Structure formats: C-alpha cells, structure tokens
Structure 1
Amino acid sequence: MKILQLTTNVDSLGYLHLDIPTELDPGQVNIVLVIDPVVASKDQKLNYDFSDLAGRLTWQGDAVVTQRTLRDEW
C-alpha cells in the first residue's frame, strides 16, 4: 500500500483530473480519495441558515430544577 498526497485544481466544470505516476505493477488498484478544499469558496452556499429559529423557544419554569429532575430519573 502506498499513500500519495498532491495538490491539484478542479476545472471550471467541476471535474478533477488526476495524472499520478506510480511505481506499481499494471493491474487493478483500490483508490481512497479524500477531498479537502485548500481555500473555501466565498460563493459557497450554506445548506440551511438556522438563524431564523433563534429565540423561538420560551422556557416555562426553572430550567435547573427541570434538569435535576430529569437527571435524577436515571
């Protein structure tokens, strides 16, 4: 098993092309690919913005007493 690391570019269509010389014999190989962006794109779209949900929960009663009651049930 060999571990190779390189930095390359993704083209404008989103394709990643790899041309990696190895010292391996011809035949099948298993490839594990971990993609770690070097710099996050400023245009990266967040999956969901949860900020509109902030402050929606109003707690009735004493939170510490409720926490201790739930913990003591164990």
Structure 2
Amino acid sequence: LSAKTEVALRAQAQRLAGFVTDRPEVGPVAVGRALVDSRATGFTHRGVVLGRHRSVLMDGLQALAAGDQAPGVVTG
C-alpha cells in the first residue's frame, strides 16, 4: 500500500482489511496482484504485509491500520 501521509496509509490499510474481510472468496494472491497493478507511485508512505496464511495477513493489515509494529509488516 502507499499514501501521501501516514494517516492516509493507515486508512488505506483499514479499508483493505474491510474489503478482504467482506470477501473471503478473494484470495491473497488476487489481492496482491490487484494492488501491484493499481498502486499509485510517488507516494512517500508505504506499507507491506508479508505472510503465508490469511490470518497472518489480516493481523498484519490490522497492525498497519493501527500504526503498530508486527512481524511481517514493513513500513517506510
């Protein structure tokens, strides 16, 4: 994910978490591909969530949305 500000990045993570929660049929690979294909460039605040299982990815998204550090969550 990327955004112009940290607050916007956290909001983006929250929206994505809600989207994924409401659509359990959408897998992580499809979400990741869509994000890579549609990611805006040039934004200074970025976050990446890494994990092998949906629950780990969701936990990472929630941490990113809250501004918390967590395993598999990288910001910069």
- The answer to which structure has the higher strand fraction is 2
Higher relative contact order (CA 8 A, sep 6+): 2
- Verify same fold: TM over 0.5: no
Higher alpha-carbon Rg:
1
User: What TM-score do you get using the length of structure 2 for normalisation?
Assistant: 0.20
